Amino acid sequence: MTPIQYLLIGAIGFSAALYFARLRSRKRDRLVVLFVSVLACACVLMPDWTTRAAQIVGVGRGADLTLYVSIIALGLMNLVLLSRIREIRLQLTELARRHAIDQAGPPQRQMR
């Protein structure tokens, strides 16, 4: 193994470990993270695999294929995060609304 491979494997392992230790998410999400981490390690350890895959789809270099896939993955992740934020914002709005209505100050009756 070359030094860069040690570095990359270390970084992937660290991110995955951090994710599993700190973020409690749904089972499906955890499986996806596990799969992607294993796939990333495989690509680092066996660079020939990405080159072969690249040639099959007609890209040429493995590094180029990895770049394209990463860009698409990044875009998708952005959308997933945006929809999460939207969901949380809706919940926050409902909460603030309920609070405002429960604390509402109705008109005071005029003294006659």
Partner 1 sequence: MNQDSAVFIVVPAFNEAASIGATLNQLSTTGHQIVVVDDGSTDATPSILSRFTQIHRLRHPINLGQGAALQTGMTYALEQGAGYIVHFDADGQHRAADIERLLEPLFADEADAVLGSRFLVAEHRQRVPPMRRCVLQAARVVNYLLSGLWLTDAHNGLRALARRAAEAVHFQENGYGHATEILIQLARAKLRVVERPACILYTDYARAKGQSTFNAVHILLDLCLGRLLR
Rule CB under 8 A: which residues touch partner 1?
Answer: 79, 82-83, 86, 89-90, 92-93, 96-97, 99-101, 103-108, 110
The CB-of-85 to partner 1 minimum distance in angstroms stands at 9
CA distances (Å), origin 10, targets 35, 37, 64, 71, 89: 16, 11, 23, 22, 36
**Pick 55 or 83: Cβ nearer partner 1:** 83
Place of tokens 């945006």: 82
List alpha helices for 46-61, DSSP H: 47-57
Q: Is the distance from CB of 37 to CB of 12 less than 8 angstroms?
A: yes
The CB-of-31 to partner 1 minimum distance in angstroms stands at 23
The CB-of-106 to partner 1 minimum distance in angstroms stands at 6
**Pick 52 or 86: Cβ nearer partner 1:** 86
**Pick 58 or 105: Cβ nearer partner 1:** 105
Rounded to an integer, what distance in angstroms lies between the CA atom of residue 46 and that of residue 80?
Answer: 30
